[in-house]
């Protein structure tokens, strides 16, 4: 069993955990979940597997406190995105203080830091419980964290997604929308019979562009800036010589704390309602997925605890930041668990070259340990 942080991280990278919902034939979380459970058992830390869907395993482990202290949840995800374009993605290489390989940065380094901090919690003999939730499917539908939260709660949580050793207290959410315009199929030579669904979608696109520009004039979030909107995918038509009877557009809207899926949906519906004043215009709209944004007050106890611990480790107070990408922190916060995000430095998340800075991974582990010793004492 690997005993150092670097050796543990390398072992985790060697275990393919490509999300099968993203890449057909991906190994999923089973092998890495069983490895972690065995590693914890070898260190006398009980762990159990939570199967959110067939083959989609998360790991729950708890270092029990003596009683009377606050509990702290450490969270990381097991799955990674695909490896197309990468050379030897599961053969970790250490070079110039960096460890390269798929998942090294996003986020097996944070996972390794959590595991080593769990050993530190065991040695510290704290009053409060320290819980690990190493979850499946964060890169797709968050099956893992949603299942784990039916069984686990805590007084606070730290998500170890990469933050460059900054303290992250906010991230954007998103909603996905499908808009379909309807026309009437006809031969291209018969404009008297045909109605062009793609041209009608052009009206929708103009309206969405206007809405997107309007978002930039609203009051920005102090850490996240403005919400945004873009047209992602569009399909329609059957051949050049026919009027298209259908056009479908997929839209993504990135949201800020305080913006709800309902309000975003109403904005798009208002746009379509205005276009429907033309009796020839017909359109349908539905929300296909919604993920809430995340935010916590910078002076919340868990934020203060992580900031103070990081200052001890780093020698200077880390900046407070927000992050544009979505993560499982939103689900933890929605479950009533005050949550902060803190993780290592690196680069290449979802890219063909991915690496993490090993010194920062150790500093992340030390910060987690200092936090749990203070928070769960």
Per-residue three-class SS string for 27-58 = CCCHHHHHHHHHHHHHCCCCEEEEEEECCEEE
Closest CA to 197 of 248, 250, 244, 249: 244
pLDDT of residue 227: 97
**Are 16 and 131 in a shared domain?**
yes
**Are 64 and 211 in a shared domain?**
no
**Are 258 and 351 in a shared domain?**
no
**Are 179 and 304 in a shared domain?**
no
**Are 24 and 38 in a shared domain?**
yes
Of 269, 291, 313, which one is at a domain's C-terminal end?
291
Stated pTM of the model: 0.94
b/e map of 141-173 (b: 16 or more CB within 10 Å)?
A: bbbbbbbbbeebebbbbbbbbbbbbbbbbbbbb
**Are 60 and 167 in a shared domain?**
yes
**Are 200 and 237 in a shared domain?**
yes
Question: How far apart are the C-alpha atoms of 303 and 169, rounded to whole Å?
Answer: 8
CATH code, domain with 368: 3.40.630.10
**Are 222 and 287 in a shared domain?**
yes
pLDDT of residue 221: 97
pLDDT of residue 183: 96
**Are 124 and 245 in a shared domain?**
no
pLDDT of residue 1: 87
Cis peptide before 107 (omega within 30 of 0): yes
Alpha helices in the chain (DSSP H): 5-14, 30-42, 109-124, 143-148, 197-215, 261-275, 301-314, 329-334, 358-375
Report the side by side order of strands in the sheet with 282-291: 228-236, 246-255, 173-182, 282-291
Q: What is the pLDDT along the chain (377 residues), one digit of tens a residue?
A: 899 999 999 999 999 999 999 999 999 999 999 999 999 999 999 999 999 999 999 999 999 999 999 999 999 999 999 999 999 999 999 999 999 999 999 999 999 999 999 999 999 999 999 999 999 999 999 999 999 999 999 999 999 999 999 999 999 999 999 999 999 999 999 999 999 999 999 999 999 999 999 999 999 999 999 999 999 999 999 999 999 999 999 999 999 999 999 999 999 999 999 999 999 999 999 999 999 999 999 999 999 999 999 999 999 999 999 999 999 999 999 999 999 999 999 999 999 999 999 999 999 999 999 999 999 99
Count of structural domains within the chain: 2
The structure tokens listed for 233 are 């995918």
Q: Are 293 and 170 in contact (CB under 8 A)?
A: yes
**Are 257 and 284 in a shared domain?**
yes
The structure tokens listed for 3 are 């005993």
Domain that holds residue 202: 173-291
CATH code, domain with 248: 3.30.70.360
Residue 250's SS3 state is strand
Of 258, 291, 324, which one is at a domain's C-terminal end?
291
Question: How far apart are the C-alpha atoms of 90 and 357, rounded to whole Å?
Answer: 17
**Are 273 and 325 in a shared domain?**
no
Question: How far apart are the C-alpha atoms of 377 and 373, rounded to whole Å?
Answer: 5
**Are 205 and 346 in a shared domain?**
no
Of 263, 291, 319, which one is at a domain's C-terminal end?
291
């Amino acid at each position: 069993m690997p005993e150092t942080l670097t050796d543990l991280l390398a072992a985790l990278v060697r275990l393919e955990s490509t999300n099968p919902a993203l890449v057909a034939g991906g190994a999923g979380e089973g092998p890495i979940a069983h490895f972690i459970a065995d590693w914890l058992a070898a260190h006398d830390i009980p762990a159990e597997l939570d199967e959110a869907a067939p083959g989609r395993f998360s790991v729950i482990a708890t270092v029990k406190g003596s009683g009377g202290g606050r509990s702290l949840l450490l969270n990381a995800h097991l799955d990674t995105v695909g490896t197309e374009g990468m050379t030897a993605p599961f053969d970790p290489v250490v070079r110039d203080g960096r460890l390269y390989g798929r998942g090294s940065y996003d986020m097996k380094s944070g996972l390794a830091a959590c595991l080593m901090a769990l050993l530190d919690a065991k040695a510290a003999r704290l009053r409060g419980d320290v819980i690990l939730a190493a979850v499946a499917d964060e890169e797709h539908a968050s099956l893992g964290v949603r299942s784990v939260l039916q069984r686990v709660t805590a007084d606070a949580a730290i998500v170890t997604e990469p933050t460059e050793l900054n303290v992250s207290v906010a991230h954007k959410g998103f909603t996905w929308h499908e808009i379909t315009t309807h026309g009437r199929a006809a031969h291209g030579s018969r404009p008297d019979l045909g109605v062009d669904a793609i041209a009608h979608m052009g009206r929708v696109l103009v309206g969405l562009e206007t809405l997107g520009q309007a978002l930039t004039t609203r009051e920005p979030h102090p850490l996240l800036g403005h919400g945004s909107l873009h047209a992602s995918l569009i399909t329609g038509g059957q051949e050049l010589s026919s009027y298209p009877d259908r056009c479908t557009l997929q839209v993504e809207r990135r949201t800020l704390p305080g913006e709800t899926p309902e309000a975003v949906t109403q904005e798009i519906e208002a746009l379509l309602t205005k276009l429907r004043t033309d009796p020839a215009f017909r359109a349908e709209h539905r929300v296909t997925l919604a993920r809430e944004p995340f935010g916590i007050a910078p002076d919340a106890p868990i934020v203060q605890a992580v900031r103070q611990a990081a200052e001890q480790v780093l020698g200077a107070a880390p900046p407070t930041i927000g992050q544009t990408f979505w993560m499982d922190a939103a689900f933890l916060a929605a479950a009533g668990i005050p949550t902060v995000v803190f993780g290592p430095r690196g680069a290449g998340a979802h890219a063909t070259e991915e690496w993490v800075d090993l010194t920062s991974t150790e500093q992340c582990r030390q910060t987690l340990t200092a936090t749990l010793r203070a928070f769960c004492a």
